[in-house]
Amino acid sequence: MSERRLTVYPVPPGRNSLWYWPKAKHPLRVIYNFLLITLSRYVPSLRLKNFILRRTGMKVGRDVAVGVQAVFDYLWPELITLEDNCIIGYNATILCHEFLVEEYRLGPVVVGHSSVVAANATVLPGVQIGRNAVVSAASLVNRDIPDNAFAGGVPARVLSYRNGSTPS
């Protein structure tokens, strides 16, 4: 598993990096993203939900299924790719940014073809979830998950593979 793909943006000393978000992203765009993503959290139609999410700049493949209350990054949704036939579970969270005191970090997130991010899981910036992978409920994904893996926990670790083998 590889390290997260993050770009680091230092901020001037004195204030924590969250104070600088309006310089990094236009506030009107954030409001637009917030409204669309919030609307998508309650829309029961998968087709309409995918249409709405695409309007934010997210890359949403064919037959993607996003559960109710799933949360996507409001600031940088264009860094999220949901490949064909993947499932994002109830109340899952996918983030592409993290604000720290002296810097903020951005990283793309890819949820692979036919993979599952189960309910209440959180995916951090710069992570790739492989094809046919499953992330169990309430997991924290802070590194890549390989193809065909079943991963879970806090932080998420590969527990087994679809062929029944276990990681060495």
Measured CA to CA, the distance from residue 98 to residue 123 in angstroms comes to 11
Domain ranges for the chain? 21-159
The phi, psi pair for 102, rounded to 5°, reads -100, 0
Residue 3: predicted pLDDT: 73
pLDDT given for residue 168 in this prediction: 63
State the pLDDT at residue 4.
Answer: 82
Amino acid 89: pLDDT:
97
Looking at domain 21-159, which CATH architecture does it have?
3 Solenoid (2.160)
* pTM, to two decimals: 0.94
Catalytic residues: 97
pLDDT of residue 150: 97
* pLDDT, mean of each 10-residue run, the chain (168 residues): 83 94 96 98 96 98 97 98 98 97 97 98 98 98 97 96 75
Contact, 147 vs 132, CB < 8 A?
A: yes
